């Protein structure tokens, strides 16, 4: 996720909302992702969290290098060889865009290739990926599935072509989707079009954030690789807060009530809550021994904001 070199501050007035009667501080949340402005010129995660009075900062933790673009470009030029396309990440779509730009294929894409691919199924995971795919003129399906497991079920329930599905992916792709399709006898051809590497500014950006903003009320992870590359730095910067979270374990209603009392006494002296954009990332957090207080019901800004707000403001307490 390429992004700016430093943490981004929210770019519109934050609505101050605090569930703690004696606490007037704005709750700060940290999102470990790059900024992606929408048509309104603002990252939708910052906007949605701001509606709940949460001051969000984005810090990119991943960078990407594109691979095998000539090979992928050649495959895109021959839709007759495939039964359809599968996109499970925005980066894979960006690889397709680069193929069209770098190889002067834009004209032939608009004239014939796009139409030929649209005669086939183009499967995607998530609205963000679907939006990018639509920008290159392809019609999508499956975006509401939310994750690779559900998309695999969707594809298996619909796919009947004897031709393989073309699957551009990253070097860290999980095998759930390929295995599920193979088990159902659905042919698929994978091509690795990008590799994930740590963002060069992780440590500096996190150091700057913690020194200026302090320990956030919550940190949201957007991928297992993002967790892998950032956790060590977060542990060093959070100090006792990480140990406190591990000792406490998952937060139950009574523990939340206790934390409310602690927050009323000192708004800045509370353990950080961990959130995950989906179940795969949540499992990665659990594997590190870290409890997950919030897993978004779907990988969308609205679902994440609702989940974090609910986790930070537990109902029925006091």
Token pair for 170:
């990253």
Q: What pLDDT does residue 51 have?
A: 93
Predicted confidence at residue 314, as pLDDT, reads 54
DSSP alpha helix (H) spans, the chain: 44-50, 69-76, 90-102, 106-108, 114-118, 127-135, 148-158, 176-183, 202-213, 224-238, 240-248, 253-265, 279-287, 301-312
| Separation CA 61–CA 223 (nearest Å) | 10
pLDDT of residue 9: 38
List the chain pLDDT tens, one digit each, 318 residues: 333 333 333 333 322 333 333 344 578 999 999 988 766 778 999 999 999 999 999 999 999 999 999 999 999 999 999 999 999 999 999 999 999 998 678 999 999 999 999 999 999 998 889 999 999 999 999 998 878 889 999 999 998 889 999 999 999 888 989 999 999 999 999 999 999 999 999 999 999 999 999 999 999 999 999 999 999 999 999 876 555 554 344 444 344 433 333 333 343 445 789 999 999 999 999 999 999 999 999 889 999 999 999 998 754 343
d(CA 178, CA 162): 16
Residue 10 has what pLDDT?
37
Cβ-based neighbour number of residue 233 at 10 Å: 17
| Dihedral class, residue 316 (left if φ above 0, else alpha if ψ from -120 to 50, else beta) | left
pLDDT of residue 128: 85
Q: Are 140 and 123 in contact, with CB atoms under 8 Å apart?
A: yes
pLDDT of residue 240: 62
């Amino acid at each position: 996720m390429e992004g700016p070199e430093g943490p981004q501050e929210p770019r519109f007035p934050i609505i101050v909302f605090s569930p703690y009667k004696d606490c007037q501080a704005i709750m700060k949340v940290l999102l470990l992702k790059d900024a992606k402005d929408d048509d309104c010129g603002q990252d939708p995660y910052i906007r949605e969290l701001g509606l709940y009075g949460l001051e969000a900062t984005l810090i990119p933790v991943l960078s990407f290098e594109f691979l095998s673009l000539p090979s992928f470009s050649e495959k895109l030029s021959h839709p007759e060889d495939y039964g359809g396309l599968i996109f499970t990440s925005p980066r894979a779509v960006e690889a397709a865009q680069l193929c069209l730009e770098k190889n002067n294929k834009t004209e032939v894409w608009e004239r014939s290739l796009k139409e030929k691919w649209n005669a086939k199924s183009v499967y995607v995971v998530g609205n963000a990926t679907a939006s990018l795919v639509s920008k290159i003129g392809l019609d999508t399906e499956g975006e509401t599935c939310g994750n690779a497991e559900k998309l695999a079920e969707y594809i298996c329930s619909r796919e009947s072509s004897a031709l393989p599905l073309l699957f551009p992916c990253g070097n860290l792709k999980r095998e759930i989707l390929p295995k599920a399709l193979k088990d159902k006898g659905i042919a698929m051809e994978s091509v690795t079009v990008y590799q994930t590497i740590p963002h060069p500014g992780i440590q500096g950006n996190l150091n700057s954030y913690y020194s200026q903003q302090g320990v956030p009320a919550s940190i949201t992870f957007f991928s297992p690789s993002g967790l892998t590359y950032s956790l060590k730095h977060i542990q060093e910067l959070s100090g006792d807060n990480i140990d406190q979270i591990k000792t406490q374990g998952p937060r139950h209603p009574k523990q939340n009530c206790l934390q409310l009392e602690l927050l009323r006494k000192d708004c800045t002296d509370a353990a950080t809550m961990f959130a995950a954009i989906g179940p795969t990332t949540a499992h990665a957090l659990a594997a590190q021994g870290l409890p997950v207080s919030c897993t978004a019901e779907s990988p969308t800004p609205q679902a994440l904001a609702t989940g974090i707000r609910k986790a930070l403001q537990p109902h029925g307490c006091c």
